[in-house]
Structure 1
Amino acid sequence: MTNNWFSGTVNTVMGVKKESQNNNQENIPLNGKKIVSYLAGTLAQIGLMILTLWLANKGFESLIKYNLNEKINISIVCLFLTFFTIRSRFFSPLDNTRSRRQYDQVIRPKWAPPPFVFPIVWMSIGVLRIVSSYLVWQKLDQNFLAIPLIVFAIHLALGDTWNTIFTVEGRYALAVPVVILGPLLSSIILAVLYGQIIPLAGWLIFPSCVWLVVASALVTRIWQLNRG
């Protein structure tokens, strides 16, 4: 009972649904129009997220004028970073539905983690991302529009697009290069950038890099097992 409650709570926080419409498009030819939609959707999300960072800068500048308690200011910033990180798909025009159905239905390698593990791991990584981004924001004179935080937005957008390709549409072959060149590569770049500003922030991103290496191997193996 306790495990079910905990798992349900984690799924709710991360927006994961157990059931969703089966939209597997692995056998539907990938055409130029579809690729353009992925690229346009990703660029649109990045643009909206950068605009949001700019608005956050303006909002925080106005907030300071009210001379609120420092703890209140910190809480507001942390709430913003939490929404920005965990609900990044809010900014995406693509279908980024989080669902376990795709993963439940595919043939998986024996070493694959059970479905309930993923939202727990991603929530833990989300917390580390929030803390590290807050530390970087503080170090960079409380500037949301700094290059490292823009790279963070790009990293989140790439992850959401990959989710569309793999989880929503079930395009396993395309998901392999996308997860490697998108979320994995950008997480390594992000860890380096954060680490150059404040070493602790870089180390807090490191678990995300490790998990995405595992995810890349898992996605590759799922494609190999299901491509027939």
Structure 2
Amino acid sequence: MNNNSNLSSNNNKILNTIDTVMGVKEEKEINQQQEYPPLNGQKLLIYVMGTLAQIGFMTLTLWLINLGFKQLLEYNLDVRINTIIVSLFWIFFTIRSRLFSPLDNTRSRRQYDQVIRPKWAPPAFVFPIVWISIGVLRVVSSYLVWQELNQNFLALPLIIFTIHLALGDTWNTIFTVEGRYGLAVPVVIIGPLLSSFVLAYVYGQILPLAGWLIFPSCIWLMVASVLVINIWQLNQKD
């Protein structure tokens, strides 16, 4: 019994750590479910403008970090220190991309726990684990591409990466936060899913390994897209 209790406790600690890294909030940290107004043209415009603003903020950040890194090189720091600094930036930029979004991007399991799901749907705790694994692959692939592009943060492939992240965050607002399942279907397909394949192709042109590191994200987003479609069909909610 003690072994089972210890195992359960260790698993909970691991999951809590993953939730902290991914920014997934517990139910007690989230206000009661808010009623959102019906979907209209103004709301769609807010999604579009919010996504564009996030892309702009993230691109500006790449420009600033590009200038900062050039200044950093003048100090002739150890290569390992430079590697750690750049790696930490890509970790933050990738895993916490939603901080650049003006939209509500609260991470929680509330919507997923409340909806009717298909029998094959993975349990809620799987998602942070998968996403942090994908995040690690994104960080490594982006770092490798950055190296191949003469350590230029403001290169087109990396801007495409910011677009992919922003589209994913906007989808999170629509599905996870506001529960607009009908709208979430075309958004997840046209947004995160399609852009993941574009990103894999573009990264692959720079460095084949970088493209392959993005490929698991493509597979997972295909699964997620089917799941979103099934959830919409089962819950009949726009």
Q: Same fold per TM (> 0.5)?
A: yes
Q: How does 1:135-146 map to 2 (within 5 A)?
A: 135-146=144-155
The 2-side partners of 1:191 and 1:76 are apart by 25
Structure 2 equivalent of residue 89 of structure 1? 98
Greater RCO (CA < 8 Å, at least 6 residues apart): 1
Match of 2:12 among 4, 7, 13: 4
Q: Which runs of 5+ in 2 are unaligned?
A: 1-8
Match of 2:3 in 1: none
Which runs of 4 or more aligned residues in structure 1 lie more than 4 Å from their structure 2 counterparts after TM superposition?
Answer: none
Q: TM-score, normalised by structure 2?
A: 0.93
Q: Which residue of 2 aligns with 1:14?
A: 22
Indicate if the aligned counterparts of 1:24 and 1:168 stay in contact, CA closer than 8 A.
Answer: no
Deviation at 1:23, TM superposition (A): 3.0
How many Å apart are 1:17 and its aligned residue?
1.4
- Name the structure 1 match of 2:88: 79
Report whether the alignment pairs 1:114 with 2:123.
Answer: yes
If the length of structure 1 is used for normalisation, what is the TM-score?
A: 0.97
1:36 counterpart residue number: 45
Larger Rg: 2
Aligned-partner Cα distance in 1 for 2:172–2:178:
9
8 Å CA contact retained: 1:24, 1:170: no
Q: How does 1:1-228 map to 2 (within 5 A)?
A: 1-19=9-27, 20-21=30-31, 22-23=33-34, 25=36, 28-227=37-236
Q: Match for 2:10: what amino acid? A: T
Q: Counterparts of 2:47 and 2:162 in 1: how far apart (Å)?
A: 16
CA distance in 2, matches of 1:115, 1:74: 34
Aligned partner letter, 1:7: L
- Is the 8 Å Cα contact of residues 195 and 201 (structure 1) preserved in structure 2? yes
- Looking at structure 1, the residues matched to 121 and 25 of structure 2 have their Cα atoms a distance apart, in angstroms, of 20
Q: Percent identity?
A: 73
Question: For 2:71, what is the secondary structure of its paired residue?
Answer: helix
Cα drift, residue 24 of structure 1: 5.4
When the two structures are aligned, how many residues end up with a matched partner?
A: 226
Question: Quick one: which amino acid aligns to residue 18 of structure 2?
Answer: V
